[in-house]
Amino acid sequence: MKTYIIFAHPNHNGLCYAAFEKARQGFTDAGHEVRVTDLYEERFDPLLFFDGEHLRRDLQFDEDTRIYRENILWAEHLVVIFPIWWGGMPAILKGFIDKVFAKGFAYDYTKTLPIGQLKGKTAWIINTHDTPSLYAKLFGVDYGKVLKRKVLAFCGIKTVCHTSMPSTRNSTIDQRRRWLDKIYRLASVIRGQRAMA
């Protein structure tokens, strides 16, 4: 399976990066083709700017983001790994979505109804956050839900797995090891439309 991993965390010594490494290792060991974008490492510019020469309707043709669009088209499966900060995704990932998941590329409209242009692809969301799990489920506005429901589904991509690592600040070494082992195992068994928990 062709897998494209999008990673959005500036710290390469923390749990989020360890999750990224485990996922990549799991996919690679299972024989998948893997491409990676590390947004902070690449110093991705999340600033969306429009003027007379830079129009929103032309985003689908933007040369600066062409490689990311090509990776998304190439992939059968997307993996998005990021921390939850202030209840949502980091600004750099939001900017990536604003600039790359453009109208005419990721979605379009038939009169007033949206139509996803990336149908047939699947996704896996992996999050870390410091919020207790129950609180996040009951009161959390985002915690990965916006990406799943408002972005990926809107573009025709089906999220087959969402792995959340809550209360990371208070987690034990054993808990973190179990999370990482699970991520590796899931990466080894995800096949298109199905994910085994």
Do the domain assignments include residue 194?
Answer: no
Please give the model's pTM, rounded to 2 decimal places. Answer: 0.90
Do the domain assignments include residue 147?
Answer: yes
What would the 3-class secondary structure string for 60-97 be?
HHCHHHHHHHHHHHHCCEEEEEEECECCECCHHHHHHH
Q: How far is CA 173 from CA 55, 84, 176, 177, in A?
A: 49, 20, 5, 6
The pLDDT tens digits for 36-67 are 999 999 999 999 887 777 767 888 889 999 99
Q: How far is CA 110 from CA 105, 115, 153, in A?
A: 14, 7, 17
- Angle at Cα 159 formed by Cα 103 and Cα 132, nearest 5°? 115
What letter does residue 131 receive in the DSSP assignment? S
Q: Are 135 and 154 in contact (CB under 8 A)?
A: no
Q: Residue 30: which H helix or E strand, with range?
A: none
Do the domain assignments include residue 94?
Answer: yes
Q: Residue 142: which H helix or E strand, with range?
A: none
pLDDT at 197: 37
The pLDDT tens digits for 9-31 are 999 999 999 999 999 999 999 99
pLDDT at 86: 87
Least confident of 105-114, 139-148, 160-169: 139-148
Do the domain assignments include residue 46?
Answer: yes
Do the domain assignments include residue 196?
Answer: no
Confidence of residue 195 (pLDDT cuts 50, 70, 90): very low
Do the domain assignments include residue 195?
Answer: no
Do the domain assignments include residue 197?
Answer: no
User: What 3-state class would DSSP assign to 116?
Assistant: strand
Q: What is the CATH number of the domain that holds 20?
A: 3.40.50.360
Q: Domain span at residue 47?
A: 2-189
Do the domain assignments include residue 93?
Answer: yes
Q: State how many domains the chain has.
A: 1
